[in-house]
Amino acid sequence: MKHLNSTQAKKRLVDGNQRFVDGTTALHYKFHPHRYAKNIQDQAPFAIVLGCSDSRVPIETIFDQSFGDLFIIRIAGNIVAPSQMGSVEFAISKFKTSLIVVLGHSNCGAISATIDECINKTHLSGSLHSITNRIKPSILPLISLNLPNHELINKAIEVNIINSVKQLQSQSPIIKEAIENNKLEVIGANYSLKSGSVQFLI
């Protein structure tokens, strides 16, 4: 595959998502492992996607992409923890990928659980705390606004995406260097479970 710059990579995602929304997906038939046996030694993903683990967000499908197209990292709440950062750095260093997308989605369970923990002081396991503690900085400033619950969730989802983007941009020397050299762009996006569309935020 020809190396794509960040603008070209984003357009490919936008076009693929539009096909998904329109029901005209072009690549679904290619998900057949034997047809790609010759490519098992190499990969050249054109974008990195840090997305939520939610089973309702099949990332290759909603962008209409196939084997080897996307380097996908998934974790509840699309947060940036050390292992996620390491995976992103690996992909940048190995594949020279020019675009990182932090992909959140509507009705995110990790966001709802964090809001519930903040407001109702619900008890969560230590492992879950490792996730919600990374989401709390996106939520705590919003709670004092006394928003209706659905507005609070929607706003928290968006802020959490943006905060993850900022963490990737600022906390990794490898990512910062690639951005400064105009070799990499980090953007956020929000997937609607209802419509199937992806809205790019920044």
* pLDDT value of position 36: 55
Range with the poorest average pLDDT among 129-133, 153-157, 197-201: 129-133
Alpha helices (H) in 46-125, listed in sequence order: 59-62, 82-95, 109-120
* Domain range for 172: 6-31+42-200
CATH of the domain at 56: 3.40.1050.10
For residue 36, is it within any domain? no
The count of domains in the chain is 1
Interatomic CA distance for residues 71 and 81, integer angstroms: 17
**Predicted confidence band of residue 25 (pLDDT cuts 50, 70, 90):** confident
* pLDDT value of position 83: 94
* pLDDT value of position 33: 60
Nearest to 77 by CA among 52, 60, 94: 52
Q: What is the pLDDT of residues 3-20, one digit of tens each?
A: 899 999 999 999 999 999
For residue 66, is it within any domain? yes
Interatomic CA distance for residues 131 and 72, integer angstroms: 18
Of residues 42 and 190, the one with the higher pLDDT is 190
Of residues 77 and 144, the one with the higher pLDDT is 77
- How many CA within 13 A on the CB side of residue 114? 28
On whether the CB atoms of residues 111 and 135 are closer than 8 A, the answer is yes
Q: Mind spelling out the 3-state secondary structure of 89-107?
A: HHHHHHHCCCEEEEEEECC
For residue 101, is it within any domain? yes
For residue 149, is it within any domain? yes
Q: What is the pLDDT of residues 160-201, one digit of tens each?
A: 999 999 999 999 999 999 999 999 999 999 999 999 999 999
Q: What is the pLDDT of residues 80-130, one digit of tens each?
A: 999 999 999 999 999 999 999 999 999 999 999 999 998 888 887 878 889
For residue 1, is it within any domain? no
For residue 156, is it within any domain? yes
For residue 37, is it within any domain? no
With 80 as the cut, is the pLDDT of residue 54 above it? yes
For residue 109, is it within any domain? yes
Q: What is the largest CA-CA distance in the chain?
A: 56
Token couple for 7:
């603008």
- Sorted by sequence, the CB contacts under 8 Å of residue 34 that are 6+ apart come out as none
The enclosing H or E element of 76 equals none
* pLDDT value of position 31: 56
Of residues 44 and 30, the one with the higher pLDDT is 44
With 70 as the cut, is the pLDDT of residue 38 above it? no
Task: Give this prediction's pTM.
Answer: 0.91
| φ, ψ (nearest 5 deg) of residue 46 | -90, -10
